[in-house]
Amino acid sequence: MQPATRWSDTLPSMTTTLYHYTGTGNSLWTAREIASHLPESRVVAMKNLREGPIPAEGDRLGLVFPVHMWGVPEPILSFLARLQVPDGAYVFAVAVNAGQVSRTLIQLQEVLAKRGIALQAGFSMVLPSNYIPWGGAPPKETQDALFAAARTRIAEVARIVEAREARPVEMGPLWQRVVFTGMYKLTLRQIPTMDKGFWVDEKCSGCGTCVKTCPCGNIELSAGKPTWRSHCEQCLACIQWCPKESIQYGKKTPSYARYHHPDVKLVDMIR
Helices (H), the chain: 26-37, 74-82, 104-113, 140-162, 174-187, 209-213, 237-241, 266-270
Residue limits of CATH 3.30.70.20 in the chain: 191-270
How many angstroms separate the Cα of 130 from the Cα of each of 67, 127, 181, 226, 227? 11, 9, 20, 20, 21
3-state secondary structure of 38: coil
Confidence at residue 2, expressed as pLDDT on a 0 to 100 scale: 43
Please give the CATH architecture assigned to the domain spanning 7-186: 3-Layer(aba) Sandwich (3.40)
Query: Could you state, in chain order, the average pLDDT of each consecutive group of 10 residues for the chain (271 residues)?
Result: 38 82 97 97 88 91 96 94 95 96 97 96 97 95 98 98 97 90 88 95 96 95 96 95 97 96 95 74
Q: State the Cα–Cα distance between residues 232 and 235, nearest whole angstrom.
A: 8
Confidence at residue 48, expressed as pLDDT on a 0 to 100 scale: 74
Q: Measuring CA to CA, which residue among 36, 44, 41, 45 is closest to residue 15?
A: 41
Helix or strand run (H / E) with residue 5? none
The third-level CATH classification (topology) of the domain covering 191-270 is Alpha-Beta Plaits (3.30.70)
Residue limits of CATH 3.40.50.360 in the chain: 7-186
Confidence at residue 231, expressed as pLDDT on a 0 to 100 scale: 92
Confidence at residue 13, expressed as pLDDT on a 0 to 100 scale: 64
